[in-house]
Structure 1
């Protein structure tokens, strides 16, 4: 089970990384296109390089339509896609000023408690995302520029959040088992 959850969480992170890389390329191309368009218009208004400006304008180069919509949806997906691997490896930010001197057994129970709370929170967020997806599926709302259904973004996030739920439940179980047995099943963050 441990290996399967690890593969699932790492696969989710890879998907999140690919989405972020695509968004970086998309944003870069959009910014370069917008700046070339501005340059073409500036040059066309001048005397010296009007021909070059008109040539740039004639190519139709401009920013990519809908970049903001795709970035919004893609970043949301990436956040949920990275959550499982962060959970699995215990890489969430922690403040252990007060707990660092606790005995190992007390610390194990404290970790198990917070892992259970985090699991419940992730499950709650996933259920709310699912509810939002159903609402947007029912009302047919689309994005402004690209006109793709808003529920698509929610569905992608629900899928990634579902992986986060599986990982969180496994981690809660493993931390609880660690507290009971004293054995280590997960890496400590």
Structure 2
């Protein structure tokens, strides 16, 4: 059962990373097209109206989409100067503590993002130029953040299994 969960969570984390990467590529293309359009304004081309708003939405989604895979792959920044000095058991315990802290932090971020999303939806706030409802960006980020919570909780399970001697 554990291996099915691990495979599913890993696939979910990778899918979010790919979605975030695609978002980032779209933002890059949008920015390039807009800058070229502004540079060629002398011949009648223009930049893309509201490009900054679209970049904000796209980058926000890309950042939140990277979190699940970074957690799953243990790619977050770590201080491991003394890792070789500590025994395997202490290192596994420290991994579990780090995963517990990350899970708590991810739940906190998801909770606050959810409350912000409810507020943006209630007030009907829109972007300045394109009049895109700001809540759309929050909803996209919320999906990625919810997946981050799932991955973080799985990582706690994975570290707990390693601590008690089961294969991780």
TM-score (norm 1): 0.85
CA–CA distance in 2 between the matches of 1:168 and 1:35?
A: 45
CA–CA distance in 1 between the matches of 2:11 and 2:23?
A: 18
Deviation readout 1:144-175 (Å, 9 max, x if unpaired): 01101111100000000011110000001110
Gapped runs of 5+ residues in structure 2?
none
1:71 and 2:55 aligned: yes
Q: Which runs of 4+ in 1 moved over 4 A?
A: none
1:153 alignment counterpart: 137
2:16 alignment counterpart: 12
CA–CA distance in 2 between the matches of 1:29 and 1:184?
A: 49
Gapped runs of 5+ residues in structure 1?
41-55
Q: 2:121 aligns with which of 133, 137, 146?
A: 137
Number of aligned positions between the proteins: 164
CA–CA distance in 2 between the matches of 1:98 and 1:83?
A: 26
Q: CA deviation at 1:99?
A: 3.4
Deviation readout 1:16-63 (Å, 9 max, x if unpaired): 0111111111000000000001xx1xxxxxxxxxxxxxxx13xxx111
Superposition CA RMSD, Å: 0.9
CA–CA distance in 2 between the matches of 1:11 and 1:148?
A: 26
